[in-house]
């Protein structure tokens, strides 16, 4: 949108400047027709009428040169910005594809790294006989345990309180993970604070001692890494 607007403005100005250069007399007539009120008001009508066409030609020429210079400089800038944006996007994709986690001998840290890399995972709980699933993002490694975070007011928290069996699923573009576990509520301030320190953005909504913030660690967990090309890898913690 910006670039189109810029091009339109450039074309309008360049047409005016070209017109001024090649049809100087006509340009002066038109200019006078539109701006005579101003020249009269400013008391410079007489000067205007004696305006030299050479001045108009020179001004138009300077205008044309300046406009062209400005146009090409701006286009180069747009081009550079586009290239940078493309490079950033490609880099993002590269990270996803090349930053492969070594799944040869996975442990709990591998699971943590994988979930961190995915950024979003899906947490399933049970409500009576109905599965419930939602996106989650918080994952913290604290005292050798994997923690997730939520708010006690949420349904997900109430469901886990009633039935602590959960399942987590995440996919990084190549590999996916499924973790079945039971969650254990940890009401210690230090566990909550550790989580909030790792997710500073959560501090807008949660405080370690606000009676709502809840952290739970995964117990009796079985995590399985799957891909289309390799055998599933299982890790228990």
Residues contributing to the site for ligand FMN (CB under 6 A): 120, 132, 134-138, 149-151, 154-156
DSSP H/E element including 197: helix 189-198
Q: Which is nearer to ligand FMN, 63 or 151 (CB)?
A: 151
Closer residue to ligand FMN in complex, CB, 24/149: 149
Shortest Å, Cβ 121 to ligand FMN: 8
151 vs 164, beta carbon nearer ligand FMN? 151
Q: Which of 98, 100, 106, 97 is nearest to 146 (CA)?
A: 106
User: Cβ 98 to ligand FMN, closest distance in Å?
Assistant: 24
**Dihedral (Cα; 207, 208, 213, 214), 10-degree rounding:** 160
Task: Report the C-alpha gap between 137 and 145 in whole angstroms.
Answer: 16
CB of 196 to ligand FMN, least distance (A): 12
CB of 153 to ligand FMN, least distance (A): 9
> In the complex, what is the shortest distance from the CB of residue 235 to ligand FMN, in angstroms, rounded to a whole number?
22
Q: For the chain, list the strands marked E by DSSP.
A: 121-127, 130-136, 140-142, 145-151, 165-171, 175-186, 213-227, 233-236
Inter-residue contact 138 to 120 (CB < 8 Å): no
Concatenated DSSP letters of 37-68: HHHHHTT-HHHHHT--HHHHHHHHHHHHHHHH
Which is nearer to ligand FMN, 28 or 156 (by Cβ)?
Answer: 156
> Nearer Cβ to ligand FMN, position 77 or 197?
197
């Amino acid at each position: 949108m910006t670039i189109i607007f810029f091009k339109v403005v450039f074309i309008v100005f360049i047409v005016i400047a070209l017109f001024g250069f090649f049809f100087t007399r006509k340009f002066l007539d038109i200019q006078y027709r539109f701006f005579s009120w101003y020249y009269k008001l400013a008391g410079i009508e007489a000067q205007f009428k004696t305006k030299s066409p050479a001045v108009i030609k020179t001004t138009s020429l300077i205008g044309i040169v300046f406009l062209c210079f400005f146009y090409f400089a701006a286009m180069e800038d747009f081009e550079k910005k586009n290239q940078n944006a493309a490079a950033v996007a490609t880099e993002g994709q590269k990270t996803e594809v090349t930053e492969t986690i070594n799944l040869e001998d996975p442990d709990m840290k591998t699971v943590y790294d994988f979930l961190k890399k995915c950024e979003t995972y899906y947490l399933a709980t049970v409500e009576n006989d109905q599965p419930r699933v939602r996106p989650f993002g918080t994952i913290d490694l604290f005292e050798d345990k994997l923690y997730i975070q939520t708010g006690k007011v949420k349904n997900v928290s109430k469901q886990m309180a009633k039935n602590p069996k959960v399942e987590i699923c995440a996919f990084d573009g190549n590999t996916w993970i499924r973790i079945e576990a039971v969650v254990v509520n940890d009401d210690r301030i230090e566990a909550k604070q550790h989580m909030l320190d790792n997710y500073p953005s959560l501090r807008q909504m949660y405080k370690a001692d606000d009676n709502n913030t809840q952290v739970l660690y995964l117990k009796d967990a079985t995590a399985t890494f799957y891909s289309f090309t390799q055998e599933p890898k299982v890790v228990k913690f």
